[in-house]
A and B are shown apart, each in its own frame.
Chain A
Amino acid sequence: AQSVTQLDSQVPVFEEAPVELRCNYSSSVSVYLFWYVQYPNQGLQLLLKYLSGSTLVKGINGFEAEFNKSQTSFHLRKPSVHISDTAEYFCAVLTNAGKSTFGDGTTLTVKP
């Protein structure tokens, strides 16, 4: 079985500040890792994914994440946030068998 823990339920930051949203996972099998963003009243949109290869993954909107196998983490970062980044962010894992598990989300609020 897999589980995903997003360590912060809410992260308030000021515009142009850096941000890190933390995600730890647990799994008995190899998994692929994803970050999704959800704007109000919208579905989820993929930000980035780690399938294999380089542990530093770059995604859309200036976000990046680093896969750390020893710490079973996949933290999301952005060096300078904008007001428009205010949204809910979800970390997810996917097994080779196609089973997906999502975290409970982190609400990022960017203040002017």
Chain B
Amino acid sequence: EAGVAQSPRYKIIEKRQSVAFWCNPISGHATLYWYQQILGQGPKLLIQFQNNGVVDDSQLPKDRFSAERLKGVDSTLKIQPAKLEDSAVYLCASSSPSLRGKTEAFFGQGTRLTVV
């Protein structure tokens, strides 16, 4: 079974530029998460999708971050414009819909973003 795929693995941009990350979840997983992991901290949930609908985006800085999940499969997370404090690893995860709320999330390898 293929895992969660993310790209790119690494990205370096200048502040005020824009950047996009892509995630392909495990086939059949209806729930998709984007987390931000700042160095030395645990993952912080940015947004959670159930199919193509947003379940929770309470911690997403909506003035600069946006995410979509067209057709309920792949997802993209965008930052525009980026700030220095956005430097972090962005993790995508997915989980099975049949045990919603009771199952673990499967994580991709993450995208390490450096804003200079």
Contact = CB atoms under 8 A, between A and B. Distances in A.
Given A43-B108, A45-B107, A98 B44 contact: no
Given A36-B107, A42-B109, A43-B91, 4 more contacts: A4-B42, A43-B110, A100-B45, A104-B41
A15 B44 CA distance: 32
A49 B33 CA distance: 19
A74 interface: no
Contacts, number: 59
Contacts of B45: 99-101
B100 to A, nearest CB: 6
A46 interface: yes
B91 A44 contact: yes
A26 interface: no
A57 to B, nearest CB: 12
B54 to A, nearest CB: 12
22 contacts: A41-B112, A42-B109, A42-B110, A43-B4, A43-B91, A43-B93, A43-B108, A44-B91, A44-B105, A46-B104, A49-B104, A51-B102, A92-B42, A94-B101, A97-B101, A98-B48, A100-B33, A102-B42, A102-B44, A103-B42, A104-B41, A105-B40
A39 B30 CA distance: 26
A32 interface: yes
Nearest to B3: A43
B40 A104 contact: yes
B42 A43 contact: no
B105 A100 contact: yes
B55 interface: yes
B107 A98 contact: no
A41 B91 CA distance: 11
A96 B99 CA distance: 10
A95 interface: yes
Q: Which of B40, B42, B55, B106 has the most CB of A within 10 A?
A: B42
A99 B95 CA distance: 12
Interface string A7-45: 000000000000000000000000010101000011111
